[in-house]
Amino acid sequence: MSISWWCTAISEPWSWAFRAYPGVWLTVAALAGTYLWSVRRNRAVESHSRRQTIFFMAGVAVFWLASDWPLGTLGAGYLASAHMVQYILYVLVAAPLLWLGTPEWMARRVLAATGIYRTGRSLRRFPLVMGVTFNATLVLSHTPIAVDALRASQFGSFAMDAIWLLSGLALWAPIVGSVSEFRERSYPARMVYLFFASGIVTIIPASFLTFAKLPLYQTYELAPRVFGLTAIDDQQIAGLIMKLATVPIVWPVLAAMMYRWATSEQASA
Amino acid sequence: MTFVGHLFVRFLLIAGLAFALGACAGAGVPLAGQLAGVAIESPTQKPSFTLTDTDGHAFDFSEETAGRLTFLYFGYTNCPDICPVHLAQLKEVFDRLPDVRRNSTVVFVTVDPERDSPEVIRSFLDAFRVDFVGLTGSLQELETAQIAAGVPKALREGSGDDYTMGHAGQVLVYAPDGLGYSVYPFGTRQSDWMHDLPILLQRTGS
């Protein structure tokens, strides 16, 4: 069995032989363990629901699924399409679940301890800054130079995964973030924010991937081919995933917000 | 012959000479700076050797590939990384350059005849393109071919059935004029191939 700290690009042909990534396991254990320890330690004085635990653990599980073998291995060194599935899972699934599972008191303590709370409060247009941060990360982290440089090493690959998750947390903070003063107050504002922040800029890198005539990423072009996919087919699939993944994830959220808005308007009428 | 007739004959002679020189221009002239591949300072002659193809027929390399853009690669079918990636890259580039594909011959020479039977080579190559040529021979013949091509002899690494072969990792490319202007090591991108192959295809030497 092959063991390495974090998934990275390797030159061996793809096989379904299990590969162990203790760094992923430790990160997952640290996230889940710290959460449970903190909840248990503060349960006498702070509110916390079972539902939040389920959301948080689901978020951790999605993070694990995206980072570990086999998806992590495929995404780090074989398929741009797997790399994109990882990205979508981190940003559009794990990040909102982690927010939904984090009690407000816990989020406040973490954000205060890291200085993020003070920075966030100092921002006049918090959602705008979060949207720009998310989209800048999206574009920069998908440039060939970034992907090829970061995927070449375990640390770089870890950094890329971490940056993606953090950018996802930034994207969702104004929607489902645990700190009330960072959330957009009205449903229309939330819907507009989510629509523009998650769905517009994405089209640019997605289009480059879908319509490029040649493979953009050296990492995947020079990797042993997997599942009979050519490098360009794989890249086009990656572009389509990036472009279309928001549809089944973001649009239902928008629909749910629309429904809640309508319901709240009815109730107040 | 009248004065005008003399002039006309002269014109034809000069035009013919200019055409001949123009057609030959470039043959044998290095392409350093024009190619994305690793340029060879003094273009090399296509090697001569005869091996056996996957149908069991003798394959005279220089004769069978004369006038064609020729890709020569020494590898083996159990190769974990470089060989399949090179062949996949060529296949994918050919899919986009039909004119190059029609005028090219890819020759894969095994350096591991012990495990690479003609059937194994054929099956391996068919996963890329059915018109890729696979060659094998005795160890001595294969060594001679490698020496003729100017690449280091492949060496067996490791023991048991799971051994690997240390072998030249570059694809040798010969233009239709029979000369090699550049080589393509592992790491050559499809953009490099797409840039170089049409240029090399023009080197007809006629």
Q: How far is B82 from chain A (nearest CA, A)?
A: 8
Q: What is the interface pTM, i.e. ipTM, of the complex?
A: 0.85
Q: Is the confidence at residue B118, as pLDDT, over 60?
A: yes
CA–CA separation, A84 and A72 (whole Å): 11
Mean pLDDT of A20-41: 97
Among B84, B190, B191, the residue with its CB nearest the CB of A224 is B84
Enumerate the residues of chain B whose CB falls inside 8 A of the CB of residue A231.
88-89, 92, 190
8 Å CB contact between A66 and A82: no
Q: Is A145 on the interface with B (CB under 8 A)?
A: no
Beta-carbon contacts below 8 Å between A and B: 42
pTM of the model: 0.88
Mean pLDDT of A232-253: 94
Chain centroid, CA B55 distance in Å: 20
Give the percent of chain B with pLDDT over 90: 79
8 Å CB contact between B149 and B47: yes
How much is the pLDDT for B2? 52
Mean pLDDT of B54-60: 98
How much is the pLDDT for B24? 43
Q: Is the confidence at residue B3, as pLDDT, over 70?
A: no
Element (H, E) at B133: strand B133-136
Question: DSSP H helical segments within chain A, as ranges?
Answer: 22-42, 50-67, 71-77, 80-88, 95-101, 104-113, 116-122, 126-141, 144-150, 154-176, 187-199, 203-211, 218-221, 231-244, 246-268
Q: Is the confidence at residue A76, as pLDDT, over 80?
A: yes
Enumerate the residues of chain B whose CB falls inside 8 A of the CB of residue A224.
80-81, 84-85
pLDDT in tens, A119-171: 999 988 899 999 999 999 999 999 999 999 999 999 999 999 999 999 999 99
Of the pLDDT bands very low, low, confident and very high (cuts 50, 70, 90), residue A9 is very high
Helix axes A126-141, A154-176, angle to 10 degrees: 150
CA–CA separation, A198 and A187 (whole Å): 16
Q: Is the confidence at residue B17, as pLDDT, over 70?
A: no
Of the pLDDT bands very low, low, confident and very high (cuts 50, 70, 90), residue B10 is low
Q: Choosing among B81, B82, B83, B94, which should be mutated to test the A contact, i.e. which has the most A CBs within 10 A?
A: B81
Enumerate the residues of chain B whose CB falls inside 8 A of the CB of residue A11.
80-81
Nearest chain B residue to A221 by CA distance is B189
Mean pLDDT of chain A: 95
Q: Is the confidence at residue B132, as pLDDT, over 90?
A: yes
Residue type (1 letter), B50: T
Q: Choosing among A79, A221, A226, A236, which should be mutated to test the B contact, i.e. which has the most B CBs within 10 A?
A: A221
Q: Is A4 on the interface with B (CB under 8 A)?
A: no
Overall size of chain B counted in residues: 206
How much is the pLDDT for B23? 42
Q: How far is B125 from chain A (nearest CA, A)?
A: 14
Mean pLDDT of chain B: 89
CB contact under 8 A, A214 and B85: no
Q: Is the confidence at residue B153, as pLDDT, over 60?
A: yes
Centre a 10 Å sphere on the Cβ of residue B26 and count the other Cβ atoms it contains. Answer: 17
Apex CA B90: angle with CA B33 and CA B133, to 5°?
120
Element (H, E) at B181: strand B179-184
> Among all chains, which residue has been given the structure tokens 């640390």?
A155
Cis peptide, bond prior to residue A70, ω within 30 of zero: yes
Q: How far is A11 from chain B (nearest CA, A)?
A: 6
Q: Is A233 on the interface with B (CB under 8 A)?
A: no
Mean pLDDT of A44-65: 95
Enumerate the residues of chain A whose CB falls inside 8 A of the CB of residue B81.
11-13, 224
Q: Which of B91, B68, B96 is nearest to B194 (CA)?
A: B96
How much is the pLDDT for B156? 95
Nearest chain A residue to B86 by CA distance is A222
Segment 73-112 of chain B within 8 Å of chain A by CB: 80-81, 84-85, 88-89, 91-92, 95-96
CB contact under 8 A, B81 and A231: no
Q: Is B126 on the interface with A (CB under 8 A)?
A: no
Q: Is A232 on the interface with B (CB under 8 A)?
A: yes
How much is the pLDDT for A2? 87
Of the pLDDT bands very low, low, confident and very high (cuts 50, 70, 90), residue B33 is confident
Q: Is B185 on the interface with A (CB under 8 A)?
A: no
CB contact under 8 A, A12 and B85: no
Of the pLDDT bands very low, low, confident and very high (cuts 50, 70, 90), residue B27 is low
Q: Which of A9, A43, B163, B91 is nearest to B155 (CA)?
A: B163
Of the pLDDT bands very low, low, confident and very high (cuts 50, 70, 90), residue A199 is confident
CB contact under 8 A, A221 and B80: no
How much is the pLDDT for B8? 53
